[in-house]
Amino acid sequence: MAASASVSNVLPLLRHNPDYRRLFFATVVSLLGDWFAFVAISGFVTESTGRPGSAAVIHAASVLPVFLFSPLAGLVADRVDRKRLMVSVDLLRVLPALGLLASLRLHSPTLAISCVALLAALSSFFDPVAEASVPNVVPPEQLALAQAALGAVWGTMLFIGAAVGGLTTLAFGREASLVLNAATFLLSALLVAGIRRPLQHHGPPTTHGLGAQLGEVWTLARQSHVTLSLLATKAGVGLGNGIVGLLPAFATARFASGDAGVGMLLAARGLGALLGPFLGQRWAGDDGRRLFFVCGASMVTYGLAYVLLPFAPSLPLAALCVLLAHLGGGAQWVLSTYGLQVSTPDRLRGRVLALDFGLATLAVGVSSLVAGGAAELVGLATASWTLAGASILYGLGWLGWTRGLWRSRTDVLAAYRPPHSG
């Protein structure tokens, strides 16, 4: 990781690399709209149903379709023009985004959840494809910086989008937030369409059948402990991520703060996810061994911070717990993605990153469903402690399993990197 991650280094990268700049800002505007919509819809569904676990169901609907469609998305990403795919997906996402607006008019939580699920399914053809494209628009020595910046964008837009989304909902109503969300997909499509550099450099697939192409990914993971370990990383945070779906209930039921409180807790999540990638890269430095250790420690940190959430006596202290949790979550997500980017050949990168994204969202989706049910049965506090404990135990187990990687005498990313890396 040659270039250190800081705003001072990101700005020259954006200024001198127009293709990366377009990909970066397409991600910015799309995520901004996503979080505007999430604040509005989670508040709407929670109020309409009167059930504390309703927002967790929204959270599950936003991730489980990604797992279901990720294998297909990965195959498509490695076979078709990635730029055209992302533009097409952006244009298609406008329709369910407008469907969210209709759900408010019809006062239909079911329609809202269905539209969220459709948006998630389409996103499975965009997000991992964008990540797979990053190594094709930046030189290798700037890849860590470029990926950290994109990871920080997710947190930044959550921080800004959730906070401003809560205020926008209060000032102009939920419909305004949803209209803005639909508009961001159109702007994202325009930005991606302007990218001139090819987003993949490989030839036709060497295998043609669906099973054979998925088998290539399994063979890669089986032969490389680094790849398999990185693919198993995001599940640690994902298992506890159902707590995020309970944050609206904490804000509205525990602290009686409404959409503004929901926005504050989600903004704290975003601030952690903004700072986490830069802190994670600083801690990991240029050493793959430290990268693995930081990934494991981040899972444990995530769980410990969320263990404290139910003890928070006020909304600001609850926001601090959320912030600390997602410092770990943000660091772990970006570092594990970077590790897969540099250790995976370009011809397989779309499938590998789609699988990584799919496994992560499966863990998040299952956790969200458990969170919703547990909140109904045993209450917010016990549900949160259960999920946070799962992240802690997974993180400790993962650190034990990967002990040979983070205690190796050599840089494990260099030693285990598959041949002919993209």
Q: Is the pTM of this model over 0.85?
A: no
Fold of 7-194+210-416: Growth Hormone; Chain: A; (1.20.1250)
> Residue for token digits 């997909």?
185
The one-letter amino acid code at 25 reads: F
pLDDT in tens for each of the 422 residues of the chain? 444 555 567 888 899 999 999 999 998 888 777 777 877 887 788 788 877 667 678 877 887 888 888 778 777 777 778 899 999 999 999 999 999 999 999 999 999 999 999 998 998 888 878 887 888 888 888 888 888 888 777 777 767 766 777 777 777 878 888 898 899 999 999 999 999 888 876 555 555 555 666 677 777 777 778 888 999 999 899 999 889 888 888 888 788 777 778 778 888 888 898 888 888 888 887 788 899 999 999 999 999 999 999 999 999 999 999 999 999 999 999 899 888 888 887 777 778 887 888 888 888 888 888 887 888 888 889 999 999 999 999 999 999 999 988 888 877 777 544 444 44
Distance, CA of 344 to CA of 347 (rounded, Å): 8
Q: Write down the domain spans for the chain.
A: 7-194+210-416
> Residue for token digits 């609206």?
248
